[in-house]
Structure 1
Amino acid sequence: MAVCWFVGLTTLDVVHRADAPPARNQKVTATRQDVAAGGPAANAAVTAAALGGRAVLVSALGAGPVAVAAGADLREHGVEVFDVAGAGFALAVSAVLVDDATGERSVVSPDGALARAPAPAPGELDALPHPDVVLLDGHHPALARAVLAWIATASPRPRVVLDGGRWRPVFADLLPVADVAALSDDFRVPPDAGGAGAGEAGAAELGDDPLAAALALGARAVVVTHGADPVEWRTAAGAAGTVAAPRVEARDTLGAGDAFHGALTAALAHGAALPAAVAQAAGVASARVAHVGPRAWLTHLPQPPQLPLPQP
């Protein structure tokens, strides 16, 4: 069984669905409520586990009641949780509103800004099952850098997938080691960004092209999602292409990008080539968008999952 690590943010999502978002100083009555673990790394891990992989979440949860609820949801969905946080860590709670008319979500969350996750103690990562692929979302920089240092000496070296929803300073360290940088179309590299692979021109010279900027900073391949539009991919070797996502009615867009990243990571861990992995991920993300609720969609994944067998 392929093993994937998902390194980064966990939250507890409180999700309300309503006929329309409230106006300023207005209350609305929800038509549905769900509570589930959230965060890019956590949601991606749930997706990978649902696809039959061994998903290990390396994150900070803590021991409070919010963490207990999030951890129970993750374990119920097959995720192995390695918690680097102590008892005093305050897990973030995300308030989510999904518009019933459009399926679009609005989120208010502290993410990892109110409580910093520590790096794991020396040797702790060695006790985890050796990963085929490691996904990093960059939300907890100390944790990300500790895993990066572990990867540098790991044998065999796992492939590295970077989840880039929006720029974070730690990405200047993560992009040069990314085998695949999976970016949203909102991702932009700031003018002052630098990195080992930036070269003389630097990423700032590349304007609004996130694929070229990520490659300039050292990523070996880049994937950019555009909502319902085709997914772009490009490699440092010059190969490029697009993959169309299956057309579905958007019922709930919460976590669609996370589902894409989890499926992409799982497919790469099973040995899929990049275009095939992107196609598989696009199909899973479409399934996520087509169904209401943070977990109900998992029963509607393409069956059987179109993943290749792990390589011996």
Structure 2
Amino acid sequence: MLLAGLCTVDVVQRVAAFPEPSEKVQSLQVDVAAGGPATNAAVTVAALGGQAILVTALGAHPLAALARADLEARGVDLVDLAPQRCEAPPVSAVVVRDRDGERTVVSRNAAADPPLELSGLAALFDGIDAVLVDGHHPELALAVAEEARRREVPVVLDAGSWKPVLDQLLPLVQVAACSAGFRAPAPSLAERGVPVTIVTAGPEPVRWSTTEDSGQVPVPPTRARDTLGAGDVWHGALAYAVARRDGDVPGWIGYANAVAAERVQHVGPRSWTKAVGKLAGSREEGVR
């Protein structure tokens, strides 16, 4: 699979309670990992046994080495379209509350894109079964989606929030997976040409609709210990299910729900990967 979008460096502090203003607290655990919607989705695909190719803009800053090392350790193939960039990559400061896994995030996502070298993207598509885009690098998202359309490869969109690029991107998307807070200006996603729309709402049932049908899929009841990146993991599992080209929309969602439910039971940004790998089940070998 090819996953295109944001890569950040996440500094994660686990605490007994969120600090009040001007208060200092001691953390229970500290982790540093690569983050971002497409990045965490790529880690999920790799954990499930698929080949994950992450296309992003990371650069040569020393902080970028932390993300590179994490992705290499997780089996993700990194394609950096801005390898000479000297500026620091986006950094997220994350605080996770120990008793229920809730988190707060302070981040600065990708600013104005550095010049991206997009001419070699077509070569990455050989054997690709599906792509996921998060829209954080608009030029990249469009180029990937357009190439996927030419090759009849399904495009999954992680639609966390409205971005201007979506006016051009949505007509190229086969599956739009939206957060509950996602709001698109008229016309609707279906009227923009999106065949499948899915809406997640945390532990609430996941709603879906197509041109012919609609419904909802319940989320397994789970004691959450860490919710950081759970939505990204869900999107990665959904895209992996789409890439397998079997089952139907409710089946894709049920699979993603199970993977995300497993993720939130584990403390830390990567501790869940081994357990999630067991959920791949009877996956088709060689999914890309």
Q: TM-score, normalised by structure 2?
A: 0.93
CA shift for structure 1 position 57: 0.2
On the 8 A contact 1:19/1:99 being kept in 2, the answer is yes
Is contact 2:198-2:207 (8 Å) kept? yes
Looking at structure 2, the residues matched to 306 and 177 of structure 1 have their Cα atoms a distance apart, in angstroms, of 30
The question of 1:284 aligning with 2:259 is answered yes
Q: Which residue of 1 aligns with 2:60?
A: 63
Partner-residue secondary structure (3-state), 2:197: strand
Taking the aligned partners of 2:198 and 2:218, their CA distance within structure 1 comes to 13
Unaligned runs of 5+ in 1: 191-201, 204-212
Note if 1:21 corresponds to 2:18: yes
- 1:119 aligned partner, one-letter code: L
The 2-side partners of 1:278 and 1:72 are apart by 31
One of 116, 124, 147 as aligned partner of 2:144: 147
Q: 2:248 matched to 1:248?
A: no
Aligned residues: 284
Residues of 1 paired with 2:171 and 2:178: CA distance? 15
Name the CA distance, whole Å, in 1 between partners of 2:32 and 2:284: 34
Give the match for residue 217 of structure 1: 192
The partner residue of 1:162 within 148, 157, 163 is 157
CA contact (8 A) 2:146 2:172 kept: no
Residue 91 of structure 1 is matched in structure 2 by 89
Q: Distance in 1 between matches of 2:239 and 2:181?
A: 21
In structure 2, how many angstroms separate the alpha carbons of the residues matched to 1:165 and 1:133? 19
CA distance 1:153–1:118, change in 2 (3 Å) = farther
Distance in 2 between residues matched to 1:146 and 1:61, nearest whole Å: 18
Q: CA deviation at 1:129?
A: 4.4
Distance 1:142 1:292, change over 3 A: same
1:304/1:41 CA distance change after superposition, 3 Å: closer
8 A contact 2:145–2:155 mirrored in 1: no
Following superposition of structure 1 onto structure 2, how do residues 53-202 of structure 1 map, counting pairs within 5 Å? 53-88=50-85, 89-113=87-111, 115-122=112-119, 124-130=120-126, 131-154=128-151, 157-190=152-185, 202=186
With over 3 angstroms needed to count, the CA separation of the structure-2 counterparts of 1:234 and 1:117, relative to structure 1, is farther
Q: Which residue of 2 aligns with 1:208?
A: none
State the superposition RMSD in angstroms. Answer: 1.8
Paired-residue identity, %: 47
Question: What is the DSSP-based 3-state SS (H/G/I as helix, E as strand, rest coil) of the residue aligned with 2:140?
Answer: helix
| Distance of aligned partners of 1:62 and 1:259 in 2 relative to their CA distance in 1, 3 Å threshold | same
Distance verdict in 2 for CA 1:310–1:276, change over 3 Å = farther
One of 256, 267, 280 as aligned partner of 1:305: 280
What is the CA distance between 1:304 and its match in structure 2? 4.7
Q: Which moved more, 1:88-97 or 1:246-255?
A: 88-97
Structure 2 stretches lacking a partner, 5+ long: none
Distance 2:159 2:31 in 1: 26
Question: Judging changes above 3 Å, is the alpha-carbon distance between structure 1 residues 270 and 310 closer, same or farther for their aligned structure 2 residues?
Answer: farther
Q: What TM-score do you get using the length of structure 1 for normalisation?
A: 0.87
**What is the aligned partner in structure 1 of residue 270 from structure 2?**
295
Single out whichever of 92-101 and 270-279 deviates more from structure 2.
270-279
Q: Per the alignment, in what secondary structure is the counterpart of residue 128 of structure 1?
A: helix
Per-residue CA distance 1:130-179 (angstroms, 9 max, x = gap):
2211101000111112223323433xx21000001111111111111111
After TM superposition, the structure 1 stretch with the greater mean CA deviation from structure 2, 91-100 or 81-90, is 81-90
The secondary structure found in structure 1 opposite 2:278 is: coil
Q: Do the aligned partners of residues 162 and 304 (structure 1) sit closer, same or farther apart at CA in structure 2, a change above 3 Å counting?
A: closer
Structure 1 letter corresponding to 2:76: V
Question: Is the CA contact (8 Å cut-off) linking 1:119 and 1:146 kept in structure 2?
Answer: no
Counterparts in 2 of 1:29-68, with a 5 A limit?
29-68=26-65
- 1:247 is displaced (CA, Å) by 0.9
- 1:188/1:159 Cα in 2 relative to 1: closer, same or farther (>3 Å)? same
